[in-house]
A = this chain, B = another copy of it.
């Protein structure tokens, strides 16, 4: 049985760190650079958050550190995933795509997907995209209903309909998401196999 001390769930930052370290063993400094310079930086940044998070993950046994000392360089701690860390990462990326994920944590979903490449097989990744496309379609329905019943009539005279326009952006964003999921699905689907056709 899995009888542990009741583990606190990992924070988004910790999960992002696991994913990045799984792609490639990295040092704290490497990770700081990535968060500073790439869109990944949504998940916070800066030594003050990253180094303590790495320590927490090491304490939990999800990461292991090995001190490297190339030539006369200052020693660097290179982190890599332990089997337990790999398991935790896999559990996260393969979590069910919930309604709440789509509404409140869209960028976490995209991060999960981008880490999937080296973690799961085609079937799991396409399943993720299918669930995402379904859920998004339902959401769009709801938003469009809301939009239809939201005329500009009740606006104070002279006020601009910026609220309605912002909602339209939201609808467009989800439509873009759905179409992307469907396009990506086609790209990930196994290419028509010539051998098979002949065999």
B42 touches A155 (CB 8 A): no
**Is A173 in contact with chain B by the CB < 8 A criterion?**
yes
Stretch at the interface among A3-11, A51-59, A71-79, A160-168: A160-168
What is the 8 Å Cβ interface bit string for chain A, positions 181-199, against chain B (1 contact, 0 not)? 0011001100000000000
Per assembly, the copies of the chain total 2
Question: Which residues on the B side are within 8 Å of A42 (C-beta)?
Answer: 104
Stretch at the interface among A25-33, A82-90, A110-118: A110-118
Task: Please give me the residue from chain B that is nearest to A115 by CB atom.
Answer: B162
Distance of A138 Cα from B87 Cα, bound (Å): 40
A187 touches B173 (CB 8 A): no
**Is A39 in contact with chain B by the CB < 8 A criterion?**
yes
Question: Which residues on the B side are within 8 Å of A172 (C-beta)?
Answer: 176, 179-180
B39 touches A114 (CB 8 A): no
Distance of A160 Cα from B155 Cα, bound (Å): 49
A-B complex: 7 closest residue pairs judged by Cβ atoms:
A114-B166, A117-B162, A176-B176, A117-B160, A169-B180, A165-B184, A114-B163
Q: Could you tell me which A residues sit within 8 Å of B by CB distance?
A: 39, 41-42, 103-104, 110-111, 113-118, 122, 125, 155-156, 159-163, 165-170, 172-173, 175-177, 179-180, 183-184, 187-188
A-B contact pairs, 10 of them (CB 8 A): A42-B104, A114-B167, A117-B159, A161-B187, A165-B187, A165-B188, A172-B176, A173-B173, A173-B177, A176-B176
